[in-house]
Amino acid sequence: MEKPPTRVRVLPHPQLCPEGSEFDAKAGRKLVDELLAHGIAIEHACEKVGACATCHVHLREGGEHVAPADDEEEDQLDDAWGLDAQSRLACCVKVKGPGLVVELPRYTKNHAREA
């Protein structure tokens, strides 16, 4: 039986979604794929294999429902801009649980380098 969808709420971000966004995401899919499928052009420089940290997001709510980060993800996150305790790589998070609140960091690793 198919799992019920997860309600994803994305907080407003000046470039990627100024009004914020809300959508139903398929449980088990990568969060980065669900964001892209719903019009949020999050960076994914390594093509979603957990090797670049440009898909860094903050899971402001619901993070307790998804699998915790493994050591490789933690290592990549060390390079992310604006790292905090709710930081995750969107390509390493499989959507799960009743709802997630996602904040997109103001900058990605790439932009922080250019600045």
Residue written as token pair 């993070």? 63
List all residues 6 or more positions away from 4 whose beta carbon is below 8 Å from its beta carbon: 27, 98
Stretch of residues binding ligand FES (CB under 6 A), selected from 6-14, 15-23, 41-49, 101-109: 41-49
Nearer Cβ to ligand FES, position 60 or 110? 110
Instruction: Tell me how many residues contact ligand FES (CB under 6 A).
Output: 13
Pair of tokens at residue 46: 């390594």
The secondary structure of the chain in percent helix, strand, coil, rounded to multiples of 5, reads 20, 25, 55
Stretch of residues binding ligand FES (CB under 6 A), selected from 12-20, 46-54, 57-65, 80-88: 46-54
Nearer Cβ to ligand FES, position 51 or 101? 51
